[in-house]
Chain A
């Protein structure tokens, strides 16, 4: 298995632009998580899905952020419009039904200028 695959690895965009981050979880994993990491706030859980259904989005910072999981093999995190304070590394992770053995992707480093 190739693990959790995220794209792009790096994204630089101008303030106000729409940004879409992508994630392909490990096949057979029922849970998918989006995290954000900054120096100031550390690793924050934004949202997670179970069987493609959003379960808890309490960590999504504001309405500019949205996440979807149209099928078991793909998820997106969208920021519209983007702001400089959204600059961070965004990680996607997946896990099987039982236990919390998360496998993380390599992350997307987002820079909003």
Chain B
């Protein structure tokens, strides 16, 4: 599996956009980029995923560079409730053994009032 590199921590002002980077320079052509987050004392929560095109849902936007070696998760208007550890994971989106998710250390996003 392609490895990912994320900064250990970031700060963001409430109401501003939070841009969380992820490097995955060894990503393969059939591997997706997944983002999960874990709010303190809760289980991880799925946010968004993508292959090569930019994606947007009600929670966030995912911007993947053209060479797919890096991506950015964007929370457009961060709130205090977005304070969490954000995990970037690269996996093939198929069934079988590829279903297991291996979590790294992620980025601790602290949204400041």
Q: State the A residues within 8 Å of B (CB).
A: 4, 30-31, 33, 35, 42-43, 45, 48, 50, 55-56, 91, 93, 95, 97-107
Is residue B29 within 8 Å, beta carbon to beta carbon, of the partner chain? no
A-B contact pairs, 28 of them (CB 8 A): A4-B43, A30-B95, A42-B103, A42-B104, A42-B105, A43-B38, A43-B44, A43-B103, A45-B100, A45-B101, A48-B100, A50-B95, A55-B97, A56-B100, A91-B43, A97-B95, A98-B93, A98-B95, A99-B94, A100-B93, A100-B98, A101-B49, A102-B44, A102-B46, A103-B46, A104-B45, A106-B42, A107-B41
**What's the A-B contact tally at a CB cutoff of 8 Å?**
59
In the assembled complex, which residues on chain A have CB atoms less than 8 Å from the CB atom of B102?
45
Question: Which of B43, B44, B46, B97 counts the most chain A CB atoms within 10 A?
Answer: B43
CA distance A24 to B93 in the complex (A): 24
Question: Quick one: which of B34, B44, B95, B97 contacts A104, CB cutoff 8 A?
Answer: B44
CA distance A56 to B100 in the complex (A): 9
Please tell me if the beta carbons of B101 and A100 are within 8 angstroms of each other in the complex: yes
Chain A contact residues: helix, strand, loop or mixed:
strand
Chain B: interface residue total (CB-CB under 8 A)? 24
Question: Quick one: which of A31, A98, A101, A105 contacts B43, CB cutoff 8 A?
Answer: A105
Known: A42-B105, A100-B93. A95 touches B43 (CB 8 A): no
In the assembled complex, which residues on chain A have CB atoms less than 8 Å from the CB atom of B38?
43
Is residue B99 within 8 Å, beta carbon to beta carbon, of the partner chain? yes
What's the least CB distance linking A98 to chain B, in Å?
6
